[in-house]
Structures are given as structure tokens and as C-alpha cells.
Structure 1
């Protein structure tokens, strides 16, 4: 090989090597920059904002490298006005830095609904109307009447109310229902493992009332009371399979899974 060809060949190899090194450096730099820009592999847990004020939620979000945005407001008497009642994503989800957490806050002014006509219709019809307009069905009482199963009176806090009145949404309505016969029996449902809200619906469907509520010492936070499940009830359906319509059922609640599992096994 001549000296000239050798020099040209060597120069080409040197330039090729330099080009390869430059490409590798550039690609590495781009990937490194993307990792930094997207925080590759870096995620933060979503804090539990439920029950916090907007100021507290904002501070908690900032400390956890996320942001909040209010998307809705509702009225829930279980929470203080102006506090967070719901969030998406849920608490303890892993998200990227600066991810928006969408929150729903409790209205300061309760929303009101117009009470529909609930008297002179069957209990089942009244039950559907109560639920459809955002009210809750509470105590069901019975009194003698020639019209069996007909709603005779509607009460709020033990005071009779009339159709057309404005009632706070979420209020608990009491119904007085006619009964033309003597004591009528209804099967006693087993409430084990259900939350309080679920148990209340089951009792309403069975024409029974919620009696005394007893929370055990496993309750540490407000969220515990919302998540608590029934582990004991009186009367017990295993020993008392049916009770009179309108009877009350006492309920014991816990978040202790061992108690609930033991109740299932009994």
C-alpha cells in the first residue's frame, strides 16, 4: 500500500471513529435529558386529602409534589363545609411530579330539593321517589289503617311535612305506613360484612329500622367509621329468622377483619 493510500485510509478510520463516538455521546445525552425531563422511574404517592380544607389540601399536595384542581361540589352532612369529600386519583396511588389531583368539595350552603307527594301511594312507590330526589329513607313506622301498605304521613325530625316543601338534599325522611292486619312478620336479613350505608338500604327494603349503632375501639379516624362493617347484630337472624314489620335492629361495627371473619364462621 502506498503512503498516500495509507494516510487516506487511516484518516477515514479516525473520522469514522470520531463520528461514531459523537453519535453515541449525542444519543446518550438525549436519553439522559429525556429521563430528567420526564423524571423516568420517579413517582410520588397521592396524599389522602379527604376531610381537609382547600388550604390544607393545597399544602399537602405541594409537600407531595402534586397539584389539586376543584372539579365539583356536593353537599354531604358527614363532612364539614368547604372540605374535600372525594379525590381522583385515590390516596396512595403513584403519580408523576406535578400531576393534577381532581377534588370534590363539600358545599358551604346545602342543596335543597322539593319534597314530592309521598302520601296516598304505596310504600314501594314512596321509597323510589325518596331515593330519586336525593333524600334518605329513615324510620318506618306502622299504624292501623283500612289501607294496607299506604303511606299515611311523612315526617322530618318527627315533624310532619307536606309535598312541595323545600328540604335539604340528603335529609332523612320518616314514613308512617298503614297496616290493616295485626303484626306482620318479615324475614330478618343477615347484615354481617356490610357497611352501615349498605346495611341501612337492606333494612329499608325489609321494612325494618336501624336501631342502636355501636362502634368498637378499632375506630381511629373518620375514614374508619365510613369503612366499618357489621360484625354483630341483634336480633340475630340465626336465632330469630323473622320479626315484625317496623322492628329495630341494633348494629355493631368494626374495621377489625378478624372480627368480621369470625362472625362469618359462627
Structure 2
């Protein structure tokens, strides 16, 4: 039999038809198997974990068949308790599959420590923006006899003298001692 006669024969068309039926049946069976294997249509709802402690968040995720993954801590946020969840991915209310990892960002224990710059012998006008740029707050301002008017002489934090290079938490209040422009008395 020549190839052309075989390609137009009933046997060839039967074989093609059987192959197509076999592929369709195999695809249908695979789809049914995948649907059962992947729990198609079964979802868990991600709970809202913002502001909750790690232990509470872990319990809620376990109740919903989800897995907690602590990503990192962020900058301190005073609106949330220490070591509580401040961000989560995916967000609350999202429908996810069972055993999905929920990534949590935690609030650290406090503001990070920042090195205090050397502001001695600088004017208050120069010192103020430097401190504010580092997110320190300026507290009480007192004056001492010194020929340099508004010159920073000393810095204090909670009554203790601060030296340049000391580390303080961001948003710490720094009290300044400035010169009043008068000669010191002898």
C-alpha cells in the first residue's frame, strides 16, 4: 500500500479518531484529578492581624490553616504596641489556599538609636535643623554667660550631659544650653 492510499483509508481515519478520543478522555481525567488534588474552590480567608501580638497572630493563622512567616521588623510605629504586627501580606480578607504563608512585619521594641552630632560651638540656628533632620526633638533651652550669643555650649538628655557620638533613640528630647552673649564673670 502506498502512503497516499493509507492516508485516505478508513483505517487511518479510525486511528486518528481513536487518538483524538483518547486525548480528550485523558485531558478530562487529568482535570478531575487536578481539581481534587489542588482543592479547587476551597479557600481560607486571611484574618486581620494588624496590631496583634505574635502569639495571637499565630493562633489565628493556625485556626485558619495558614502559616506565619515573620519577614522583618520595620521602623518603630508608636501607634502600635511593641512587637505587634504592623503589616501583613496578603492583606486581610484575601482568599488564599490552605497552608499559604502569610508574611508579617513587626513593630520593633522602640526607635532605633541615632548618633548625636557635634553641635558645640554652632549657633542655635544651625543646630536646630540638624537635630530636627535626625528626628530629635528640642526640649528646654537655657542660657549661660558666654560671649557667643545663641552658641550651643552643652546638650542634655533627661538631665545627663550628652557628648557628640552618643547614641539616642529617634525622637528623644534634647535640652540645649546656649550662650547669652555676655562675658562670663570672674
TM range (shorter): 0.5 to 0.7
Mean CA deviation greater in 170-179 or 47-56: 170-179
**How far 1:60 moved relative to its partner?**
1.4
**How far 1:46 moved relative to its partner?**
2.8
**Quick check: 2:153–2:179 contact (8 Å CA) kept in 1?**
no
Aligned to 1:31: 31
Residue 147 (structure 1) aligned with residue 138 (structure 2): no
Aligned to 2:172: 172
Aligned to 2:137: 138
Which whole-Å deviations, capped at 9, do the CAs of 1:210-265 have from their partners, x for residues lacking one? xxxxxxxxxxxxxxxxxxxxxxxxxxxxxxxxxxxxxxxxxxxxxxxxxxxxxxxx
- Separation in 2, partners of 1:141, 1:109: 23
- Separation in 1, partners of 2:121, 2:87: 38
Give aligned pairs, total: 164
**How far 1:162 moved relative to its partner?**
0.6
- Separation in 2, partners of 1:40, 1:179: 75
Aligned to 2:104: 103
Q: Helix, strand or coil for the counterpart of 2:136?
A: strand
Aligned to 2:132: 127
What's the Cα RMSD here?
4.1
Q: Which structure 2 segments of 5+ residues have no match?
A: 1-8, 181-186
Aligned to 1:56: 56
Closer, same or farther: CA 18–93 of 1 in aligned 2, 3 Å: same
Closer, same or farther: CA 94–170 of 1 in aligned 2, 3 Å: farther
- Separation in 1, partners of 2:167, 2:142: 27
Aligned to 2:90: 89
- Separation in 1, partners of 2:178, 2:131: 13
**TM-score with structure 1 setting the length:** 0.45
Q: Which has the larger radius of gyration?
A: 2
Which whole-Å deviations, capped at 9, do the CAs of 1:54-95 have from their partners, x for residues lacking one? 222122122334211123235737344443333333333444
Greater RCO (Cα-Cα under 8 Å, separation 6 or more): 2
Q: Helix, strand or coil for the counterpart of 1:125?
A: helix
**How far 1:16 moved relative to its partner?**
6.3
Which whole-Å deviations, capped at 9, do the CAs of 1:8-46 have from their partners, x for residues lacking one? 969x75x76665443322111222333444455655443
Residues 247-266 of structure 1 mapped to structure 2, 5 A cutoff: none
Closer, same or farther: CA 91–161 of 1 in aligned 2, 3 Å: farther
Aligned to 1:76: 76
Closer, same or farther: CA 139–114 of 1 in aligned 2, 3 Å: closer
